[in-house]
Amino acid sequence: MTDTTRADAAPGELAANRQRIASHVVGRERELELTLAAVAAGRDILLEGPPGTSKTTMLTAITEEWGIPLLFVEGNADLTPAKLVGHHNPARVLKEDYSPDNFVAGPLVEAMTEGGFLYIEEFNRAPEDTLNTLLTAMADRSIAVPRVGKIKAKPTFRVIASMNPYDNVGTTRLSTSVHDRLNRLAVGYQDAPSEEAIVRLRTGAEGPVGDRLVSDAVAVTRATRDHPDIRQGSSVRGAIDCVLVATKLADLRGVTSPDEEGYAELVFDAMIVSLSGRIHIDEAVDTTPERVLREIWEDRFILEPATAAPG
């Protein structure tokens, strides 16, 4: 970590740091500022929010600005302490016996020795003994590895956890000890203008068809989050894919204007491909993703235009 990213850096230096990082993130000024303040203060943090809310983008921007690695780990039942910490190379152990030289560092040890961020997605899916290993690293900034010795973390080492509050299947309740060692920030969906800016940036959509596709894709994607039959809607990634698929459909079908008869139907077809696998229907409702998406499409392309029509 450079002098401009230390907890005791002058306010102007940290603010300049934030300004450079913010150029890589769309519509996340407050969340970025709070996350940056926490990690610059030397704290570990839990980012709680649904997928596709720019959590990874924020962390990537911060670590790139600071010139440190960002190591990804997916939290699941298979994430054992050995996978997190590391292991001895079996072939070399047979020849040389156990030694620090044949130890293969796992992501935790790598992040500690390189002073990087260890980013654990789906944090609440990791086994309890794995979380206990992390507790030691967070509390002491060091861990003891058998036959290797004590691993001390560089000052820039951070544990960043994320979890989806809407998904309780296969998850475990985090203990008080875990919560006590983590700062927490709730990260929700961005507003419509910010999501449109993200979609336009990621797709390169332009022109009359592109502009309309961005607006429509973001609108129907956001509608999936409020539909009563949907337990969890799609992130902005669904809108990005909707625009990309619809653009190719427009080429295939020769649709060159959003006012043409086939435009609305190609948007629906793009919705089926890009959104049907991203929405999670309430188990108590007897319906299908395709049927729900048809309702959302009709609201956007039939009911709303009819309501706005003169007279």
Kindly list the domain boundaries of the chain, sorted by start residue: 3-186, 192-308
Q: What is the model's pLDDT at position 310?
A: 60
Q: What is the model's pLDDT at position 7?
A: 47
CB atoms closer than 10 angstroms to residue 9: 17
Q: What is the model's pLDDT at position 1?
A: 44
Q: What is the model's pLDDT at position 10?
A: 59
Asked whether 89 and 101 are in contact (CB, 8 A), the reply is no
Could you give the CA distance from residue 248 to residue 138 in angstroms, rounded to a whole number?
A: 48
Tokens representing residue 194 in the block: 């910010």
Q: Along the 311 residues of the chain, how does pLDDT read in single tens digits? A: 444 444 455 567 778 888 888 888 888 889 999 999 999 999 999 999 988 888 999 999 999 999 999 999 999 889 999 999 988 777 776 677 667 777 888 999 999 999 999 999 999 888 888 888 899 899 999 999 888 889 999 999 999 999 987 766 556 677 788 888 999 999 999 999 999 999 999 999 999 999 999 999 999 999 999 999 999 999 999 999 999 999 999 999 999 999 999 999 999 999 999 999 999 999 899 999 999 999 999 999 998 876 665 65
Q: What is the model's pLDDT at position 269?
A: 98
Shared fold status for 3-186 and 192-308: no
End-to-end CA distance of the chain: 64
CB atoms closer than 10 angstroms to residue 278: 19
Could you give the CA distance from residue 132 to residue 120 in angstroms, rounded to a whole number?
A: 14
- Pairing state of beta strands 86-88 and 142-145? unpaired
> Between 3.40.50.300, 2.40.110.10, 3.30.70.360, 3.30.360.10, what CATH number should domain 3-186 receive?
3.40.50.300
114, 109, 34: which is closest to 66 by C-alpha? 114
Could you give the CA distance from residue 271 to residue 276 in angstroms, rounded to a whole number?
A: 7
Q: What is the model's pLDDT at position 179?
A: 85
Q: What is the model's pLDDT at position 267?
A: 97
- Pairing state of beta strands 158-163 and 45-48? parallel
Q: Cα dihedral sign for 118, 124, 125, 127?
A: positive
Q: What is the model's pLDDT at position 98?
A: 67
Q: What is the model's pLDDT at position 11?
A: 60
Could you give the CA distance from residue 49 to residue 162 in angstroms, rounded to a whole number?
A: 7
Q: Strand, coil or helix: what is 111?
A: helix
Measured N-to-C along each axis, helices 29-40 and 55-66 cross at an angle, to the nearest 10 degrees, of: 50
Could you give the CA distance from residue 111 to residue 138 in angstroms, rounded to a whole number?
A: 12
Helix (H) or strand (E) holding 163: strand 158-163
CATH number of the domain located at residue range(s) 192-308 in this protein: 1.10.8
Tell me which amino acid residue 181 is.
R
